[in-house]
Structure 1
Amino acid sequence: MLKLSQTEKHIIENSIRDIKDFPKPGIIFKDITTLLNDKEAYGVLMNHLYQRYKEYGLDYVAGIDARGFIFGAALAQMLGVGFVPIRKKGKLPYTTISEKYSLEYGVDEIEVHIDAFGKDKGARVLVIDDLIATGGTAGAAATLVNQTGANCVECCFVIGLTFLDGIKNLEQKTQVYSVIEV
């Protein structure tokens, strides 16, 4: 499996800004907007993702609402495959299936069009998002992909928070790849 070189890792890590005490005291928020507006870092990231996934035989890339759209749509275009948005409940116009997942204080829900991955069963799908923390949203996304009859072959994240159990929990459902780990 293709991994970043130390130089590439350094470029990407240095482009991500830490915001202390956001959204609440004690949290250090990983701000990827600085990665997005750094053409070198964004280029290194997207080239790395293309090189990693070009031989996976993917049919679709599914991005999780909303930052997963930024990486997922660009990667799908580079790979020559379709892009599918996995949205928060109530945002998609056609018939959907949905999956609930737990948050720290409550429950949330995401959904996908029932025909998002075509009529043929077994489409190979990569799910992508900016960050994995507890893994609830990504786990729900992987479940949704599989419920449509497609196959979630891997979940990919720009940042993986290793001090939480999200990666370990998600690995029970599918393969997981984090470009960088914190």
Structure 2
Amino acid sequence: MKQHPLAQYLEAVPDFPKEGILFQDISPLLRDHFVATIDAMSLLFSAKEWAEVDYLVGVESRGFIFASALALKHDKGFVKVRKPGKLPNVHASMEYGLEYGTDKLEMQKGNGKKVIICDDLIATGGSMQAAAKLCNEVGYEVVGMACLVDLKALNSFSHDGMTVRSVIQFDD
């Protein structure tokens, strides 16, 4: 499979944040190719799909970057999924597994609207799965999931039959 041209701007950082992890740093993309990155993520969904979405959900913290930019581009609202203690009026929370530990996410009450969940990278799928379950639990309808980078070798995640759409994929 041919890799997306933006993949060349990722920086692989060995042993970060823990030994044995090869971290894919998106900082060069954000710094030098932000508009192209958002445009590429936008193309993951059709015009019809964008028309049916109400909100973009950003998973803390780098998911905020992509979800808010896509919300602005498509004239949609933005909803946050936060780590504990950073969100008032929490309606639901969920613990999940990471490639290198565990964490927890929280959300405020939803309103039945349709959402696309965004994050920077999917490794094990833990945070995306937690965000999708939280969205459903608080009252949103998940109609799509997107990320910039998918480490496919580490996950086979899907939610209600939907897989995460990504711009850049690593199979090994």
Q: TM-score, normalised by structure 2?
A: 0.87
Once the two structures are TM-superposed, the CA of residue 169 in structure 1 deviates from its matched residue by 2.6
Partners of 1:20 and 1:95 in 2: CA distance = 36
Residue in structure 1 matched with residue 164 of structure 2 by the alignment: 176
Q: 1:81 to 1:162 in 2, by over 3 A?
A: same
Q: Could you say which structure has the greater relative contact order, defined with CA pairs below 8 angstroms and 6 or more residues apart?
A: 2
Q: Which runs of 5+ in 1 are unaligned?
A: 1-5
Alignment correspondent of 1:140: 130
User: Is 1:112 aligned to residue 111 of structure 2?
Assistant: no
Contact 2:56–2:76 (Cα < 8 Å) also in 1: yes
Secondary structure of 1:163's match? helix
Residue of structure 2 equivalent to 1:44? 36
SS at 2:134 equivalent: helix
CA contact (8 A) 2:99 2:124 kept: no
Query: How far has the Cα of 1:149 moved from its partner?
Result: 2.2
Counterpart Cα distance in 2 of 1:32 and 1:98: 27
- Listed as ranges, the gaps of 5+ residues in structure 2 are none
TM-score, structure 1 length as denominator?
Answer: 0.83
Q: 1:20 to 1:175 in 2, by over 3 A?
A: closer
**Partner Cα separation in structure 2 for residue 105 and residue 74 of structure 1:** 28
Q: Is the 8 A contact 1:142 1:173 kept in 2?
A: no
Distance 1:159 1:51, change over 3 A: closer
Matched, 1:129 2:119: yes
Contact 2:44–2:167 under 8 Å retained in 1 = no
CA distance in 2, matches of 1:178, 1:96: 29
State whether structure 2 residue 64 is matched by structure 1 residue 72: no
Shift of the alpha carbon at 1:145? 0.8
1:3 paired residue number: none
Q: Which runs of structure 2 are paired with 1:47-66 in the superposition (5 Å)?
A: 47-53=39-45, 54-56=47-49, 57-66=52-61
Count of residue correspondences: 166
Q: Give the corresponding residue for 2:153.
A: 163
Percent identity over the alignment is 37
